[in-house]
Structure 1
Amino acid sequence: MGELKKWVTSSRAAQRALLAAKTALAVGLSWILAPYMPGVVDEYPYYAPLGALVSMYPTFMGSVRSGLQTLVGLLFGIMLATGVLLLGTPNIITISVAVGLGVLLAGLPRLGAGREYVPVATLLVLIIGGQNAETFSVGYGVQMALGVVVGLAVNVTIFPPLTLDTAREEISRGRNALMTQLRDAAKALVEEWPPEHEDWASRQHDLDVVIGEIRRAVDAAGESHRANPRAYRRSRHQFVAQTYEDLAVLERITYYIRDLSEVLAAAIWDGPLNLQLKADLREPLSICLTATAEVLRAWEEDAAMAGILDSADDSLAALNAAVSTAAESDASAATSGAAVALDVQRILTALRHRLLPKDDPDQPV
């Protein structure tokens, strides 16, 4: 129930409601216009609403692509059906072969949304068109094209969507997921040893899923700006570029967090890496991971970054000092601490490059 409430109050729900309203309008307009098409085309008005339906997509360029791919798929299907008709009266063998060829053609990667319509159009022309296959093909194709045009017109003129808010929400979700991972690992390090708090050690796949969803949202935000009359403001283009930068940083630090999580899990519990974690490294490791999580929190809350990054750097320096001390007595026992310290350094470097102004004197070159 909580997930449903969260979705209902999100920008995705509002975008979906707008898409539903525009789809209903496009279907209605297509149905009104279909009987006015010239010649025999007006005998097949029910295909115009279908064309409008298949052309409606959350972004305008997505609608263009989906509509054109659908029409190309229909054209291929009609061509296959025409080939069968040229051979004579359709029968169970020629119809089956044509549909099979349609399924093969549907495998063309560039067909996209139109792939499903290749065998469907072939079957409809041969079975429903029958003796009037030529008339049916013209009516079917033209009415579908009418619906696609109406759908595109509605989509571009009535609040063409800009999915910026969804991208923001997904980036925020990614930051919080990574922050939680670091905090949970830090908490486990200072629990009674060995810690029972171990769910964080098996979240690598969950982190990959989150990053995948962020990438899809950011790509959708970029696509929503293409040929969109609402995307004329420079600030919106800057935001799209910024979201791609955020995505790149999140992907990079996710890799490092997964790596340090694997190292810590192997050092805490028996694992294939056969690592150890000395007791005097656990607290500095915990402090360092907590400080790194604080940087992500500050990024999420748009807080002042320089001081928080400096604190994280100080905790990393303390960890490196503890690792050096531990290595003097047992180099192999300090390996896991050194590996985590290197991952943290990479995380902080990536965050510093992203979050500090480019002309900041503290920004490393």
Structure 2
Amino acid sequence: MDTSSMRRAGGRARRLLRDPVTWTEWIQIVKTVVAAVVAWMLAVQVFDLPQPFLAPWSALLVVHATVYRSFSRGAKQVGATVVGVLLAWATGDLLGLDAAALAVMLLAGLVIGNLRWLREESTTVGATALVVLTTGFSDQDHILVGRLLDTSIGVAVGLVVNVLVWPPLRDVTAARAIDAIDDRIGNLLQQIGREGDESCTADQVEAWIERSQEIDVAIDEAWALVRQAHESGWYNPRRHTSRNPGDSRDFPDLLDRMEQAVAEIRSMARTLGQSISLTNEWDDEFRGRWLALVGEAGEAIANPDSERVAAVRRELSALANDFSTENLPGLYWTEYGGLILNLRNVVTSMDRVAASQPVTPRGRHDKSPLLGG
């Protein structure tokens, strides 16, 4: 590896070490391992339970990305396990252990698991019943009680570890996702500004549309992260003690604006595509000024500068005023007016997004890499 490659690799490593999202993910992994090991040790060494496999298994499942989800899934998991153990006991007592009994039990377990309250644990009822019945414990009442106890131990340990050991706040993860989307919107606009001249082809237009659809997918993923960020503050003790209160109330408005901008860009691309297919000849001055504004808007969004975004909006008004006095065919004005309106809507939507860059949760001031994500 040459010196420049080593320098780049070192730079990436340093960025990862300073990245709060990376730290949060690694802390969650370590917490999950610790919870599983502690649950197993308690079940074996303190409660002296035989074959306490459900204790570490339950702990693994309970350490979730948010404290609230740990509580909600923990309660559902305990309920599903109790139902599974009782189902195995009933099957063993009434039907014994054979292929028919196994089929009846699994069918019942999966049906119960799909009830509304247990749907997130849809296979836990059947899986627990399967393990208990096939290991021969269904007719041993004290071992059935042990299965319930080791499950409860695992859930309790998972909850305690997730609540007390750096409970995650997910607002930084959501902010990072939003930050990346506006860069992609700006880059797409710059691409259209470069490629939208008289040599533009239908294939290039289709590529712009595909990129806009990819950004839509990224926005959908960001919405999920914003919901998770909101949820991460529920029951979270860090919400009251951290200088970062997990306040992501502004994020939905920013995502709404980005959705609007992407829809306008896609409309813009389709207008250009129709013009190409109809071989319409454009006014050179309009094309040059409009494409320059598209590129300028892209730069102002990708390198957030709300003043430049506002300047583009003013220039668009000037463009419309200048050409409103021209003797242009009606068809041209339909296209020109649509393109001006699309770009004006883009910069209007992205003005506040640019002013919010870099996107940070309200109250975020501490530079420590361990402040959450």
Q: Kindly indicate whether residue 282 of structure 2 is the aligned counterpart of residue 278 of structure 1.
A: yes
Deviation, structure 1 residue 279: 3.4
* Structure 2 counterpart of 1:28, from 30, 37, 44: 37
Q: Count how many residue pairs are aligned between Structure 1 and Structure 2.
A: 344
Give 3-state SS (helix, strand or coil) of 2:249's partner: helix
Counterpart amino acid of residue 264 in structure 2: Y
5+ residue gaps in structure 1? 358-365
TM-score by length of 1: 0.82
Q: Residue 250 and residue 176 in structure 1: after superposition, are their counterparts in 2 closer, same or farther (change >3 A)?
A: same
Q: Kindly indicate whether residue 312 of structure 2 is the aligned counterpart of residue 312 of structure 1.
A: yes
TM-score by length of 2: 0.80
Rounded to whole Å, the distance in 2 between the matches of 1:162 and 1:332 is 53
Q: Residue 46 and residue 85 in structure 1: after superposition, are their counterparts in 2 closer, same or farther (change >3 A)?
A: closer
Deviation, structure 1 residue 91: 2.8
Rounded to whole Å, the distance in 2 between the matches of 1:32 and 1:246 is 47
CA-based RMSD of the aligned residues comes to 3.1
The corresponding residue for 2:142 is 135
Contact 2:113 2:123 in 1 (8 A): yes
Q: Which has the higher helix share?
A: 1
Rounded to whole Å, the distance in 1 between the matches of 2:46 and 2:243 is 43
Q: Kindly indicate whether residue 105 of structure 2 is the aligned counterpart of residue 106 of structure 1.
A: no
The corresponding residue for 1:363 is none
5+ residue gaps in structure 2? 357-373
Deviation, structure 1 residue 197: 5.0
Counterpart amino acid of residue 25 in structure 2: R
Give 3-state SS (helix, strand or coil) of 2:348's partner: helix
Q: Residue 94 and residue 168 in structure 1: after superposition, are their counterparts in 2 closer, same or farther (change >3 A)?
A: same
Counterpart amino acid of residue 319 in structure 1: L
Q: Residue 119 and residue 83 in structure 1: after superposition, are their counterparts in 2 closer, same or farther (change >3 A)?
A: same
Rounded to whole Å, the distance in 2 between the matches of 1:351 and 1:234 is 30
Rounded to whole Å, the distance in 2 between the matches of 1:227 and 1:191 is 58
The corresponding residue for 1:361 is none
Counterpart amino acid of residue 308 in structure 2: I
Contact 1:201 1:265 in 2 (8 A): no
Deviation, structure 1 residue 117: 0.8
Deviation, structure 1 residue 69: 2.4
Rounded to whole Å, the distance in 2 between the matches of 1:205 and 1:323 is 32
Deviation, structure 1 residue 123: 1.0
Q: Residue 250 and residue 223 in structure 1: after superposition, are their counterparts in 2 closer, same or farther (change >3 A)?
A: same
Give 3-state SS (helix, strand or coil) of 1:89's partner: coil
Which deviations, in whole Å up to 9, do the C-alpha atoms of 1:241-295 show, x marking residues without a partner?
1223322222222222222222223323x3xxx6846233322221221232244
Counterpart amino acid of residue 317 in structure 2: A
Deviation, structure 1 residue 233: 5.8
Deviation, structure 1 residue 13: 2.7
Q: Kindly indicate whether residue 55 of structure 2 is the aligned counterpart of residue 48 of structure 1.
A: yes
Please identify, of 155-164 and 198-207, the stretch whose mean Cα deviation from structure 2 is larger: 198-207
Rounded to whole Å, the distance in 1 between the matches of 2:65 and 2:93 is 41
The corresponding residue for 2:362 is none
Deviation, structure 1 residue 178: 0.4
Deviation, structure 1 residue 94: 2.1
The corresponding residue for 1:265 is 273
Rounded to whole Å, the distance in 2 between the matches of 1:258 and 1:105 is 46
The corresponding residue for 1:341 is 340
The corresponding residue for 2:26 is 17
Q: Kindly indicate whether residue 148 of structure 2 is the aligned counterpart of residue 149 of structure 1.
A: no
Q: Residue 287 and residue 160 in structure 1: after superposition, are their counterparts in 2 closer, same or farther (change >3 A)?
A: same
Please identify, of 249-258 and 276-285, the stretch whose mean Cα deviation from structure 2 is larger: 276-285
The corresponding residue for 2:293 is 288
Q: Kindly indicate whether residue 97 of structure 2 is the aligned counterpart of residue 90 of structure 1.
A: yes
Q: Kindly indicate whether residue 205 of structure 2 is the aligned counterpart of residue 218 of structure 1.
A: no
Deviation, structure 1 residue 174: 0.2
Counterpart amino acid of residue 30 in structure 2: A
Rounded to whole Å, the distance in 2 between the matches of 1:141 and 1:296 is 56
Give 3-state SS (helix, strand or coil) of 1:35's partner: helix
Please identify, of 167-176 and 311-320, the stretch whose mean Cα deviation from structure 2 is larger: 311-320
Give 3-state SS (helix, strand or coil) of 2:96's partner: coil
Q: Kindly indicate whether residue 183 of structure 2 is the aligned counterpart of residue 183 of structure 1.
A: no
Rounded to whole Å, the distance in 1 between the matches of 2:31 and 2:242 is 27
Contact 1:74 1:114 in 2 (8 A): no
The corresponding residue for 1:362 is none
Counterpart amino acid of residue 234 in structure 2: R
Deviation, structure 1 residue 151: 1.0
Please identify, of 276-285 and 194-203, the stretch whose mean Cα deviation from structure 2 is larger: 194-203
Please identify, of 46-55 and 342-351, the stretch whose mean Cα deviation from structure 2 is larger: 342-351
Deviation, structure 1 residue 193: 5.0
